[in-house]
Structure 1
Amino acid sequence: MTQASESLRERRLVELLDSLATGEGLSSSILEGVQFMRSDKYSPPIPMLYDPCIVIVGQGRKTSYLGDQVYTYDPYNYLVLSVPLPLVCETEASPEEPLLAVSMRVDPATLAELLMEMDTDIAMNGTVPRGIYSAPLTGELIDATVRLLECLRSPVDSRILGPQTMREITYRVLCGEQGGALRAVAIRHNRFSQIARAIRLIHASYQHELNIETLAGEAGMSVSTFHHNFKQVTSASPLQYLKSIRLHKARMLMVQDGLTANAASGRVGYESASQFSREFKRFFGNTPADEAAKMRNLGGGNS
C-alpha cells in the first residue's frame, strides 16, 4: 500500500471518530460492546477503572500507568486489557486536536471460538502474562476499525455487519505480537484463567468481606502462589486490587447516582465512613466530594 493510501485510511479513521464520538468523555455506540472516547483538553494522570477491552486511537494520545509499567496508545499503538484493571491515565489532547478513540469489549466466548477455528497450538509457555499491553497498530487493524465505524453510522449495518467486524478486530489482535494475554483468557485451567476467576469474584462481591484465603481458594491455589501470580497479572496485591475496586465503584456511585460519601462507602463494603474518606483521599488525591465534582466536569467516572 502506498504512503498516500495509508494517509487516506488514517484520515478516514479520524473523520469517522470525529463524527461518532459526541460529547466529552466516554459515550456509547448503537452496537453493544463498542464505546467512543473523546477529549478536547489535556488531563493529568487520573485513576480510572478499565474493563477488558481493545482501544484504538485515531488522534491524540493516552498514557496509562500500572505499577512501574507505562503503556502508550495513540495513532501508532493500540491498547489491550484482558482483565479489569485500575489504571492511572493521562490524556494529551487540545480543542484543535481532540483525543478520538474507540473501545471494543473483549468477549471470552469469541476468543475461544476463534482459537478453535485458527487450529493453532495455544499452549502457554508457563509464564503468566500481564493483563494489559500496548502494541503497534497495523494496517489490517486500522482497515477493520474503519469498517466497524462505517457500519456504526447505520442501525441495520451495525446489526448485520458489526458483530463480524468486531470478531475480525479480535482476530487481528490475537494474531498480533502480544496476543498471548488474550489467548490466555480462552485457555482453561492455566494460571491466568485461575487468577481471572478470582478477579471476577472480586467484581461480583467487592461489597462483601473478602480475604486472601477466600480469593486463593476461588483460584485453586495456595495463598503464596496466588499472591505471586495475581501480582504478575495486575501489578497489585489481591487486597490492594480489592481496595482500588471498592474506591472506584464508590466514586462511580457518587458521580453517576448522586450518592453521598457516607452512602457510597457503605454500599461498597466500608464499615467506617472516616476510614473510607481517608483511603479515598489517599488514593484519588481529593476528598470524595471534590473528586465527584471533578469527575462530573470531566464527563464520567471511568474512561
Structure 2
Amino acid sequence: MRLEPALLSEMVMAMGDTGQYIQAPLPMASVAMTEGMQEAVLRLARALNVAIECSAMGNARIRDVVFEALKGEQGPALRALVLGHGNYSRIVQVLSKLHTHFADDFSVEQLAAQAHMSPSTFHQHFKQITRSSPAQYLKRLRLIKAQQLLLQDNYNVNQAAAAVGYRSVPQFSRDYKRYFGEPPLQHRRQEQALRA
C-alpha cells in the first residue's frame, strides 16, 4: 500500500488540531497495533481479495487505515511530517533522499546542509528520529535493498553489491552476514531451493 501524501495531508487537516503534535514526535519505530488498526487492516485485506469490494470500497479502506495510524502512537510523527514541523520534517526529507539515492555516497556534512543544520545538530536529530547514525542507517538500507535484489530480482552477489553502492564485494559479504546472519550467496541459494 502506497501512502499518498495528498491523502495524508487531507486526513490531518480533516482531523484538526488534536494537540498531539505540540510535543516532539517519538522516534520512528514499530508500534503494537491497536484494536482499531487491526480491524482497519483486516477490512482492507478483505477488500483486496474481492474485486467489486476493492473497486467500491478500496479507497475508503485505505482512509480507514490512515485514520487509525494518525490516532496511534506514531500519529504525532505523521502530523509533523505533513505540517512541516521543524527538525522532524527536515530529517524526513533527508531520509527520502537516502531512500531514493541509496547507492550514492554521502557525507554527514552534505546531509546536514540539506537539512539546514550543523553536522552535530543534524547527527543528534537524525539519531533521535531513526535510532541510528546516518552511516548505520545508510548501511542497513543498502543491505535491505541488496537482499531484495538477490532474492527477488536474481542478481548475483557482485551485481547486488555494486547496485547498492558497495565498492568491495568482500566487505559487502561481511556486512550482509553480520546483518542477516548468513552470507549473501548462501541466503540466495536457500531462497532458490525453497522456490524449487
User: Shared fold by TM > 0.5?
Assistant: yes
**Residue 18 of structure 2 is aligned to residue 124 of structure 1:** no
Name the CA distance, whole Å, in 2 between partners of 1:298 and 1:175. 40
Name the CA distance, whole Å, in 2 between partners of 1:246 and 1:268. 5
Paired residues, number: 195
Name the SS of the counterpart of 2:31 in structure 1. strand
Name the CA distance, whole Å, in 2 between partners of 1:271 and 1:219. 27
Name the CA distance, whole Å, in 1 between partners of 2:176 and 2:143. 6
Aligned amino acid, residue 112 of structure 1: S
Name the CA distance, whole Å, in 2 between partners of 1:278 and 1:136. 35
Give TM-score scaled by structure 1 length. 0.58
More strand by share: 1
Q: Which of 94, 100, 105 is the equivalent residue of 1:209?
A: 105
In structure 2, the partner of 1:196 is 92
How far off its partner does 1:242 sit?
Answer: 0.4
Aligned-residue identity in percent: 36
CA deviation vs aligned residue, 1:31-72 (integer Å, no higher than 9, x gap): xx1xxxxxxxxxxxxxxxxxxxxxxxxxxxxxxxxxxxxxxx
Q: Which of 40, 53, 57 is the equivalent residue of 1:144?
A: 40
Unmatched runs of 5 consecutive residues or more in structure 1: 1-32, 34-104
In structure 2, the partner of 1:256 is 152
Name the CA distance, whole Å, in 1 between partners of 2:39 and 2:152. 35
Aligned amino acid, residue 284 of structure 1: F
In structure 1, the partner of 2:81 is 185
Could you say what the CA RMSD is over the residues aligned between the two structures, in angstroms? 2.3
Q: Which of 54, 68, 90 is the equivalent residue of 1:172?
A: 68
More helix by share: 2
Give TM-score scaled by structure 2 length. 0.86
Contact map agreement 2:20 2:76 (CA 8 A) in 1: no
Task: Name the CA shift for 1:294/1:190 in 2 (closer, same or farther; >3 Å).
Answer: farther
How far off its partner does 1:142 sit?
Answer: 4.4
**Residue 12 of structure 2 is aligned to residue 115 of structure 1:** yes
Task: Name the CA shift for 1:284/1:162 in 2 (closer, same or farther; >3 Å).
Answer: same
Task: Name the CA shift for 1:276/1:150 in 2 (closer, same or farther; >3 Å).
Answer: closer
How far off its partner does 1:238 sit?
Answer: 0.4
Contact map agreement 2:177 2:183 (CA 8 A) in 1: yes
Aligned amino acid, residue 170 of structure 1: V
Task: Name the CA shift for 1:116/1:154 in 2 (closer, same or farther; >3 Å).
Answer: same
Task: Name the CA shift for 1:128/1:228 in 2 (closer, same or farther; >3 Å).
Answer: farther
Contact map agreement 2:70 2:79 (CA 8 A) in 1: yes
Contact map agreement 1:112 1:186 (CA 8 A) in 2: yes
